[in-house]
Amino acid sequence: MQVKSGVVYEAVFSSMTTEGSSASIVLKFAKKIKDPKDSASDRTALAERPVPVVTIPTADLVQLTAKDVRMSPEDLSGADRSDFGFETDAAISRGRGG
């Protein structure tokens, strides 16, 4: 995810929150992988531990890239989707007699 300041984060997308007319994206285990303020020779920033939770207002969002997300009809069409780790509310309810 890239923000307006030019900082690029690598993280796990956790959720999106809304409050009134504004929204924020919540990332877990976020790590800066690029910061224009850091000099090219400063490698200590790259060695930092990930931050447990980072909240970024969508107004600051420039780009969001999702890797390895399976959402094609073929991926979601099977009767047993429990191995995907992601299911819609309707799919979960159907699986539990709801």
For the cut 50, the answer to whether the pLDDT of residue 98 exceeds it is no
Cα 92 to its chain centre, rounded Å, is 22
Question: pLDDT-based confidence at 66, cuts 50/70/90?
Answer: confident
Give the strand order in the sheet containing 8-19: 51-57, 22-34, 8-19, 2-3, 61-63
Compute the half-sphere exposure of residue 63: CA atoms within 13 Å on the CB side of its CA: 8
Lookup: tokens for 48: 């930092």
Average pLDDT over the chain, rounded to an integer: 80
What is the per-residue pLDDT across 6-42, written as a single tens digit (0 to 9) for each? Answer: 999 999 999 999 988 899 999 999 998 888 887 665 5
pTM, full prediction: 0.62
From 12-16, 32-36, 47-51, 88-92, the region with the lowest mean pLDDT? 88-92
What is the Cα–Cα distance from 42 to 96, expressed in whole angstroms?
A: 52
